[in-house]
Amino acid sequence: MYRYILLLMMSIVVTGCTGIAKIKERYHRAPFEQVIDRGDYQINLYEIKYPEKYEEKIEFYNDFSILLKKLLVYDSTLNILYPEELKKDILKLGDNLLLPEEEIYVKPSSELSKIEMEEIDKNIDFKLDNELGKSQYYLNKQVYFWKNLLKQKNNTRENYTELDKERLIQEVKKSRKEMFEILNEVEITSILKITDPYRSNEDNYWQQKDVYIHRKTKINPQIFRETNYIYLGDIEDLDAKKIVGEQLKFDSKIVIIENKLYNGYTVVDNKFVFFHGGKNNISYYDGYKINLEIKEVTLKDLLKIDDDILIDDFLNPNLYKKRQGK
């Protein structure tokens, strides 16, 4: 009889421990609970569009520069969702402070190809003295391009030099360098939006790393090695399930999954995976419900916005605490 009671008690203890283990698997204690209060959080992501035309790009960067100065002066914070095309141009600007469309206006006029001359004529259609030599003719047009960009008056009767052109180029570069310096000082959390994560992409803006090809998915394998924060559009149901089940993992510390199944977030290897667009709510940390709201805006709209919480505050709670103390 005593032996039976002992076995019964052991069975109860084992069953109880198993139940506790299951609860621990389902609910996780947040490492940031001493800094960020429990509750329901809505994080706003502001999606900006990037223009295709050169003139509109220049206006975009002018507005962007104004926005950065506002964020710096007022110590504001934002979560920005930006397209792949913007990343390509930003990388180009970061390399030599020039946009791809501007390269033919930097090249020595004597080295321009026939195609490049035709492109310049198409973009700059004012007439010059036909008696000018070909090199001088296109040099004057190149100078006109840079003066127009800097909003400086242009003298069509003057013959400019390559040195004149170089001075103008350096003036443009100086302004853009200042923009990047401010960008490094402000608190913007930027997320790269990959509209079609299943598309094969060999563009050089991707991280150049060894890529492990996941046999379990058709998602572009380069995406798993991307270290920037990323937003993946229109993820298939099966892949969304695999991501929740930790069968697919990313190098990025923050990944947003647009899908039809889940809404909320999970944490894998100390990296946040957010889900947007689904019906089933999921949370990882006990007492913390986090949802995303995506809003399409212009840069001028962002001048009026200052969010209290950034999407990576849960990764860097001390930065959040520092902001709250200001």
Q: Report the distance separating Cα 150 and Cα 15, nearest Å.
A: 76
| Residue 239 near residue 217, CB atoms below 8 Å | yes
pLDDT at 14: 36
190 token code pair:
């930027």
Query: How are beta strands 262-268 and 280-282 bridged, if at all?
Result: parallel
Predicted TM-score of the model (pTM): 0.81
C-alpha dihedral over 280, 286, 288, 292, to 10 degrees?
-30
The set of residues, in sequence order, having a beta carbon less than 8 Å from that of 111 and lying 6+ positions away, is none
| Residue 286 near residue 304, CB atoms below 8 Å | no
Buried b (16+ CB within 10 A) or exposed e, 220-234: bebbbbbeebbbbbe
Query: How are beta strands 271-276 and 280-282 bridged, if at all?
Result: unpaired
The one-digit pLDDT tens for each residue of the chain (326 residues) are: 444 433 333 333 333 333 322 323 456 899 999 999 999 999 999 999 999 999 999 999 999 999 999 888 887 888 999 999 999 999 889 889 999 999 999 999 999 999 999 999 999 887 766 667 889 989 999 999 999 999 998 776 778 999 999 999 999 999 999 999 998 888 788 999 999 999 876 554 444 444 454 558 899 999 999 999 999 999 999 999 999 999 999 999 999 999 999 999 999 999 999 999 999 999 999 999 999 999 999 999 998 887 778 898 898 888 888 877 66
pLDDT at 57: 95
| Residue 80 near residue 112, CB atoms below 8 Å | no
Q: Report the distance separating Cα 31 and Cα 28, nearest Å.
A: 9
pLDDT at 317: 87
How crowded is residue 260: how many other Cβ atoms within 10 Å of its Cβ? 14
For 226: left if phi > 0, alpha if psi spans -120 to 50, otherwise beta; the answer is beta
Query: How distant, in Å, are the alpha carbons of 2, 174, 259 from that of 232?
Result: 62, 35, 9
**Helix (H) or strand (E) segment spanning residue 241:** helix 237-244
3-state secondary structure of 134: helix
Q: Report the distance separating Cα 262 and Cα 218, nearest Å.
A: 20
Buried b (16+ CB within 10 A) or exposed e, 9-45: eeeeeeeeeeeeeeeeeeeeebebeebbeeeebebbb
pLDDT at 202: 56
Q: Report the distance separating Cα 219 and Cα 225, nearest Å.
A: 12
pLDDT at 214: 55
The set of residues, in sequence order, having a beta carbon less than 8 Å from that of 76 and lying 6+ positions away, is 70, 186, 187, 305, 306
* All structural domains of the chain with their residue ranges: 28-86+188-324, 107-178
Burial of residue 151, with CB atoms counted within 10 A of its CB: 0-12 exposed, 13-18 middle, 19 or more buried:
exposed
